[in-house]
Structure 1
Amino acid sequence: MSRRYAEVIGDPIAQSKSPAIHGFWLEKLGIEADYGRSLVTADGLPDYIAGVRGNANWRGCNVTMPHKQTIMPLLDRVDPLAARIGAVNTVVREADGTLTGYNTDAAGFLEPLASSLAEKHYFRMARVLGTGGAARAIVAALSDQGCVVVLAGRNPAKAQELLDELARGNDHHAIDLAHFADATDFAFDDREQCLDLIVNASPLGMAGQPPLAFDFSHAPPGSVIYDIVTHPLDTDFLQCARAAGFRTIDGLSMLIGQAAVAFEHFFGVAPPRDFDGELRARLTS
């Protein structure tokens, strides 16, 4: 390519929404640059990195599965947060030609919670469902925001290991995911000065995956229900939450939020977020 460009890499890659998101922002800003996608296999990753190092037009790439961990030793630097999370989803070619790895998932996840997190609370608790790669960034982000994290997984021992590795403080709890499937008669206290989050950080509920079994008697009054699944965008989990009167956040919020941080790294300017409604419409049409 003869002009600046960035791209997303992974295997598979055809399903990625990143080209549509970044392309939309480039179009709105009138920036003479491109954003594409490249199918990069696990075996081909070292050659890909070697090939882009000397290309001054290549501004960087977003990284999806299965490369978020294996790309790290191929880079010159890894941002401290990405190193702590243990995953890179954004690589940036610096002015001197070196490559730096970042993790923008944490910032993207927190973005739609910004107004809530800006308030003062005497207690913050997040029930996080899932112990995969996405959960790593979410646990780190929430514990940094002063949340007590209850991490639920099919293997509670794995959940505890993840908390020990990533969560700041020692008040966090690991629990079996099945605990939330059955109703509870627990009497929650006055939650007016509390922030309660329930986050599906697992693929459960995604098209082709089993449903997420969660009984909303486990959700304290006023909880915010957040599902990072993007296909379908309006999951059964979110529909049931709305029917029960809870505020919900869908997976597109995190996807756009993390892309916005990456876009600024690639092109040196913040994306035009006044058009988020139009962008959502384009992504879901």
Structure 2
Amino acid sequence: MTGRAAVLGHPIGHSKSPALHRAAYAALGVDIGYEAIDVTVDALPGFLSTVRAEDSWRGLSVTMPLKAAIAAAVDEVRGVGEALGVVNTVAFEPGPAGPRLVGYNTDVAGIVNALRYAGAPDAPSAAVLGGGGTAAAAVAALRDLGTSSATVFVRDAVRAADVRAAAAAVGIDLQFRPLTAAARELPGYDVVVSTLPPRAADGTGADLAAAGAATPGILLDAAYDPWPSRIAAAWTAGGGTVVPGLEMLLYQAIEQVRLFAAVDGPMPAEVIDVMCDAVGAPRRVF
């Protein structure tokens, strides 16, 4: 029986996860289909009820705006996802009364690896743009890199519950600053992680470009469509290193494929190669 997997989110038409996963399963010789399904927060409970009734499901990738909602809907959350209360991956495990839905957060590993391969220093000074589920993963990733404090630039700090909870869970101090101040202050950080949706950082990018300031650090922009984003283009013009969101997507997807296809041990190099080729991501040394 063909297994099923999917990426859930709203909107979801731009997602490159299907290309990554389909390439991986074909290279592994695993019979798992993978699709993109538009699901809103309100529709999530009904969708999960439907998938629980089917034996073919192997896993779900989860993107905005569902990462916190699905953490409360699965049967168990493991690893850093439990501490963060934010899940981007759901694996299906057999249980006596039907499949058990187990949540994970592979975004943290995706961000850590993307920054490390870009040359991030140990314990970098760091800033995050945004305060949602991906920002929560970014805070946890920065803690893994040795950072003890970070600055979070948001439009409304009152609405940054996910990132506040993440900071408390992993033990990192946060300072909140208005997003309007980001362009002036970002050039002073070793690492900047933008977790804003596509085009939401355009204003900051325009301000950076207008200022013409040097940007010697590393920018990871989680948004990857359109690319290059305006903030990425401004960062490059300032002399900094830009890590496209495709790299984060690749590294977190490798962990998802491992779970969905039950891969033991390291992911074969040839599988990583075809995943890179599927989305045009650079091949890094692992």
TM score, norm. by length of structure 2:
0.80
Distance 1:242 1:50, change over 3 A: same
Kindly report the root-mean-square deviation, in angstroms, between the aligned alpha carbons of the 2 structures: 3.1
Distance 1:136 1:34, change over 3 A: same
SS in 1 for 2:26: helix
In the alignment, which residue of structure 1 is the partner of 2:138?
138
How many residue pairs were aligned? 268
Distance 1:39 1:169, change over 3 A: closer
Distance 1:245 1:82, change over 3 A: same
Structure with max Cα Rg? 1
Deviations 1:171-206 (A, max 9, x none): 43222222233489x9x7xxxxxx810222212635
Matched, 1:245 2:239: yes
Deviations 1:21-54 (A, max 9, x none): 1111122233222112334454443333223224
In the alignment, which residue of structure 2 is the partner of 1:192?
none
Alignment of 1:123-272 (within 5 A): 123-147=123-147, 148-156=149-157, 158=159, 164-167=164-167, 168-169=170-171, 171-182=173-184, 196-203=190-197, 205=199, 210-213=202-205, 214-215=207-208, 222-269=216-263, 270=267, 272=271
Q: Which has the higher helix share?
A: 2
Q: What is the percent sequence identity of the aligned residues?
A: 32
SS in 2 for 1:278: helix
SS in 1 for 2:180: helix
TM score, norm. by length of structure 1:
0.80
Deviations 1:141-172 (A, max 9, x none): 2123221311111234555x666432244643
**Contact map agreement 1:180 1:218 (CA 8 A) in 2:** no
Structure-2 separation of matches of 1:24 and 1:266: 14
5+ residue gaps, structure 1: 189-194
Structure-1 separation of matches of 2:163 and 2:49: 35
5+ residue gaps, structure 2: 282-286
Partner AA of 2:32 in structure 1: A
